[in-house]
Amino acid sequence: MLTARPAVPPRSEIAPEHTWNAESVFPDRAAWSDACDALRAQIPEITRYQGRLSESAGTLADWLELRADVGRRLRTVGFYAMMSQSVDNNDQAAAAMSSRAQTLNGEIQAALAFNQPEMLAMGQAKIDEWLAAEPRLAIYQHYFENLFRRADHVRSAEVEEVLGLVDDPFGSLRATAQFLTDADLVFTPAISTTEAQLPLAQSSVFKLLNSPDREVRRTAWEHYADGYLSIKNGLASNLAAAIKRDVFYARVRRYGSSLEAALSPHNISTEVFHNLIATFRKYLPTWHRYWALRRRILGVDTLHPYDIWAPLTDTEPEVPYRQAVEWIGEAMAPLGEEYVTALRRGALEERWVDIYPNQGKRQGAFSGGAPGTHPFIMVSYADDLKSMSTLAHEFGHSLHSYLTWQHQPVDYSRYSMFVAEVASNFNQALTRAYLLDQNTDPAFQIPLLEEAMTNFHRYFFIMPTLARFELETHERIERGQGLTAQDMIALMTELFSEAYGGEMDIDHDRVGITWAQFGHLYANFYVFQYATGISAAHALAGPILSGEAGAADRYLQFLRAGASLYPVDALKLAGVDMTTPEPVEAAFQTMTGYIDLLEQLARPLSQ
């Protein structure tokens, strides 16, 4: 018999050792406030360089060093505020800190606006001459190459100043969505077959969707969707404004589309996006096969969206946090002692991880920080395989940051989203392969394969579908069309109907509101990069798992490169070419292997 789960605890009841090490960044919030004041007070020093960058190679080097220092400190205060709010959206002081940090960012970006136009005006010949003459400038070779490549899209100092100033109000769009969904939105509890009420929150929804009780899953999924539907018009208006923001930026910077504006700064062709979508649609029958298999194993006449996360066996391995860290560390052994030692130290000693759910904690998980801080992680750990996989994913991000920050200057320390999702999915791929090899018991392997398919479902099914939604909504705004809540719901439902291929019952509005549940859509064309990331990750994991000489070293070089190379070139250094469809096709082959094994192991369950 199921009993009601205990309520999600308030933040005050979480043991300090299970929270992120905020005091390692600032001893207290007063010190954070002082750091903000110091940055704001430095704006006159920044603007004193305006008109002077062409004075000498030394002056330019001084400027770049100042800009890097200001940028690092700005990222630090911004992250501290964001993390403080993310772990407790009910903390009004933290919310005010986030707002203040966003405003400060806009002010400093406006002060820096003269920077790139002035360097471009100097001309590439003079810059090249100074790069050779001034040792402190040598590290900026790639930076200037990229700057002059983007010259047509860098505007005048006056326009750049305006673009810096609008960062603050435009930045509030995602914050508004987060407040509405993570703080203000209250969900009706899920109900079990015994009529027990189970608290439903952002930090507990996926645990409920994984319940063996179908009534718990159904009511959790429906009530979660209904919560978003109750504020659909406000969320749609907010997202439409964010899309208009993207179109505004693209047009001001003279790009042909929002998609081009998102990818061109990183020297990524739009064909990489379209290649992913075309390959995804080509291989949709692989997903249709999985939905049919899941229906047979569950023994239901009709598969519903809330059955996607249903456990296929009666046993769910319990994986406490420390066990997860141990397994992840063992799985990452091919990358060497430095990598594994840093991971274990961060997880168990230095408090990189904010571990457990609490009231007001934002949905999902992330890794963040800045050079000079730990690469922190926020999760809502639930002692199961999926939580372990999420932890592995976020440690992929964090160790990517850790190695980049150790080996690159500040200007190359912020790698692109395109490569970020490679490192995270790579860790999951190695951890999964290690556990499948170490434990051949079907009672363990079936839940592990379920975790794998849950991960592929999110990154290789939902995210490409959201990417198709994102492209169409941006193109509608670019054509001057309107965009309402019902427009978004209808489009989302149409795309998911194709993706499910007739193997899933479609609850029109509840499926269609999926767009509102992903704050990723507030980052211009981010979601498709989860799918390219999981593709590249599995392509890189294969040679390492097979023991190919040099494969692990190439991968570590990729992690250390940060933004010192263009993303596509960095991945080529590691051993994968994302300008071709092969990595995406290889990921589908990996997924097919998982489905084959699941079908074999679960055959007795479906007979």
Which residue in 118, 161, 260, 394 is the catalytic one? 394
For residues 67 and 113, is the Cβ–Cβ distance under 8 A? no
* Local structure of 198: helix, strand or coil: strand
Spatial strand order of the sheet with 366-368 comes to: 353-354, 376-378, 366-368
CA 64, CA 53: separation in Å to the nearest integer? 10
Closest CA to 80 of 373, 347, 353: 373
Closest CA to 420 of 499, 273, 534: 534
* Local structure of 85: helix, strand or coil: helix
For residues 313 and 447, is the Cβ–Cβ distance under 8 A? yes
For residues 564 and 309, is the Cβ–Cβ distance under 8 A? no
Beta bridge partners of 191: 197
C-alpha dihedral sign at 79, 415, 112, 247:
negative
**Burial class of residue 93 (count of CB atoms within 10 Å of its CB; 0-12, 13-18, 19+):** exposed
For residues 171 and 102, is the Cβ–Cβ distance under 8 A? yes
Q: Which two tokens stand for residue 498?
A: 């194709």
Beta bridge partners of 190: 198
Question: For strand 366-368 and strand 190-191, is the pairing parallel, antiparallel, or unpaired?
Answer: unpaired
**Would residue 260 show up in a list of annotated catalytic residues for this protein?**
no
Question: For strand 353-354 and strand 376-378, is the pairing parallel, antiparallel, or unpaired?
Answer: parallel
| Cα–Cα separations (whole angstroms), residue 580 to 267, 274, 530, 533, 558 | 15, 11, 17, 14, 19
DSSP state of 384: S
The CA-based angle 393-399-400, given to 5 degrees, is 90
DSSP E strands in 54-199: the ranges are: 190-191, 197-198
CA 73, CA 76: separation in Å to the nearest integer? 5
Closest CA to 367 of 394, 332, 405, 333: 394
For residues 136 and 208, is the Cβ–Cβ distance under 8 A? no
For residues 487 and 509, is the Cβ–Cβ distance under 8 A? no
Closest CA to 226 of 523, 516, 524: 516
Q: Which two tokens stand for residue 560?
A: 């250390």
In degrees to the nearest 10, what's the CA dihedral of 44, 45, 46, 50? 90
| Residue 168: HSE in the Cβ half-sphere, 13 Å Cα cutoff | 17
Closest CA to 534 of 594, 481, 494: 594
For residues 367 and 86, is the Cβ–Cβ distance under 8 A? no
- Active-site residue set: 394
